Structure 1
Amino acid sequence: MTNAKLCFIGAGFHASTNIYPSAIEAGAEIAAICTRDLERSKAALQRFGSRGTAYDDYRQMLRKEECDGVVVVAQPGDQTSLVLECIQAGKNVYVDKPLGWNAAEARHIADAAEQAGVVLMVGFMKRYAPVYMKLKEWISGQTLGAARSFQATFAVDSTPFCKDEEQFIKLAAIHIIDLLRYLFGEVVQVTGFRNTAGEYISQNLALKFANGITGSVYFTGMTAWSRESERLLVTFDDGFASADEINTLTVHQSRTSGTLPWKDLEERDSVFTPSGSPMSGGYRDLYLRGFVGEMAHFMECCRKSITPLSSGRDNVQTMDLCDRILSALV
C-alpha cells in the first residue's frame, strides 16, 4: 500500500466510522475535507490527524485541490449531483452506494465518467471482503468442480433507515445483490415472494444466472434482527463452501474413492478464518468487511488509471437487477 492524496465530501457516521479509518489504513493522505459546516470539517481533519484544508463549499474544494481522487459519502439523494460535479471537474471519484436510484441514472453517470476519462468506483465493499474473495477463488478455480447452486441469507434491522421495500433493496440488500453478480455473473430470471408490512421487510427470491447457476435468497429487514446476519452456501460438483458472518469460510471436499463414506477418512473440511488477536484493535472489522480493501483498490486504480472492479459501468447492472427484483415480488 502506498500513499495517495484524497479529498473527502461528507463526514457523517458511516464515513467517520468506516471510510476515513480504512482509507488511512490503506495509505491515504487526507488532503481536504468538505462538509456543510466549516467547523465540522476542521473537527474531522483534527480527528483523523490531517493537516489538510477544511471547506464548507465542495465546488471551491474541487477548484483548488490537486488530488488523486475524491471520496463522496453523502446522503443518497445528494450523491448523483455531487459525483457528476466531481467528474466535470476532472476528478477520479469513489462514491458510496447507491450511485443513481435506478439503471438509467447509473448509466448517465457512467457515460459521463467515461467521456471525461476519469476513474469512477462504487462502494460495494463485499467484493473486497476476504471471505468472499476466497470464495470467489474457489468458484473460479473449480477445484471442487463447477458451482451449481447457492443459498443466501441477509437479515438486519433496517427500520431506522428503510421505510419501504425499494429503500431496503437499494440501501441495504444491494450489497448482497451486487455480491451475487460478482460471484456468479448476470441474472437472466427472477421470481420472488413477499410477506412485507410497511417497513417490516420479508422477501424470498429465486435467481437463475446466464451460466445456469440457480439460487435462493432470503432477505429480511425488521427489528427482530437487531443482530445483523449474513450467510452464503455454494454447492459445487464435488463439495460445498459456506461463508458465515463475514469471518469464516468452510470448504467441504467430498470423497473421491469408491468405498462407502463411513469406511474411511476420505472427506475433509478446510476452515479459513482470521486470528482473534486483540492486537488488531478496531481494524479487524474494517479489513474483514472489505472497507480497507476497497480503499486500497480505489487508490491503485487512480494511480494506474485502470477500471475498478466495482466500476460505475458495472454499477448499471446492479441497479438494473435491483429494479428487476422489485418488479418480480408478488
Structure 2
Amino acid sequence: MIQPALIKKQRIIICVLLALISITIVIGMGMGYSSLSYDRLIPTLLGQGTFKEEFILFSVRLPRIFITLLAGMALALSGAILQGITRNDLADPGILGINSGAGAAIAVFFLFFPIKAGSLVYLLPLVAFFGALITACAIYILSYNRKTGLQPVRLVLIGVGFSMALSGVMIVLISSAERSKVDFIAKWLAGNIWGSDWPFILAILPWLLILIPFTLYKANRLNILELSEPVAIGVGLAIEKERISLLITAVALAASAVSVTGGIAFIGLMAPHMAKALIGPRNQLFIPVAILIGGWLLLFADTIGRNLVDPGGIPAGIMVSLIGAPYFVYLLLKK
C-alpha cells in the first residue's frame, strides 16, 4: 500500500511541474525569430490578433511547442520502462541504439521512396517503430544469456555499438543522396525538431494516449521485474512475456517521438532518475512525474536552443546532449 504522505507529495510535485511547463509554454510563445508581444498573447489566442500574430502563434509556435512536449514525455516514459526491464540505470532509447534504429528506417524510407518531408506523416511513426523494434530485438538477443538471463552491462555496450554502427549507416546512405534530402537527414541526426505542424501532433498523440495508461497498468509488474529474477519467478510472474510486451511499448514510444523530433538522446536517461530522486523508486509514483519532467526538459531545451542563434537556432538534441552527456558520465562512474 502506498503511504498517503507519498501520494500527497507526488501531487504537489506534479502541480509544480505543470506550473513549470505552463510558464515555459508562455515564454516560448513570445520568444523567437519573430517576437510576439506578451500582452498580445491572450487576444491572439482568442482570435483577436492580426494575421501576422495569428500565423506566428498558431502555425509556427504552438505546434512546435506541443510536439516537443509530447515527444519529451514519450522519451521519458520509454527510458523509465527500459531501466526497469533491464535493471540498468544507464538504459535510454538513445544510448541503447533504439533511436538510431528508428532513424535508419526513416532514412531508408525517406531516401528510397518518392516522398517529401512532411508527407505521409502518419506513416513515419510506423516506419520508425519497425526499424526500432528490429534493432531492439537484435540488442536484446545478443545481450541475453540462457543461464544468467539478461546482462545489463552487456546490454548497454551492445546498444552503444548498434547506435554508432547505425549512425554510420545513415551517413553512408546520405553520402550519395540529393542535397535537399541530405539536409533533412543531417537535421534529423542533430535532433532538430523538424515536425512542426498540427498533423504531427495527431501522429504522435494516439501512441501516448494508449501507451501511458498501459504502462501505468503494468507498473506493479514493472516493480517486480526490477527485483531479481528468482523473486519475479517466485511470485508467479511470466518474466519473458512481460519483458517483451514492455519492451515493445518502450520501442513504440521512442519511435513515435524520434519520427517527428529527430535523434534526441538522454531525455529517457535523466527524467526517470530525477523523478526517482524526488518521489522514490515505485513505478506507480515516479512514472507520472518522469513523464512531466521529460516533457519539460525537451521543451525547455528547444525553447533555449531556438533563441540562442538566429534564425535557425541550436537543435534541441544538441542542447539536451550538452546536459545529458556529463550526467551519463556521472552515472557511469557512480554505478
TM-score normalised to structure 1 length: 0.28
Q: Which has the higher contact order (CA 8 A, sep 6+)?
A: 2
Which protein is richer in helix relative to its size? 2
Which protein is richer in strand relative to its size? 1
Higher Cα Rg, which structure: 1
TM-score normalised to structure 2 length: 0.28
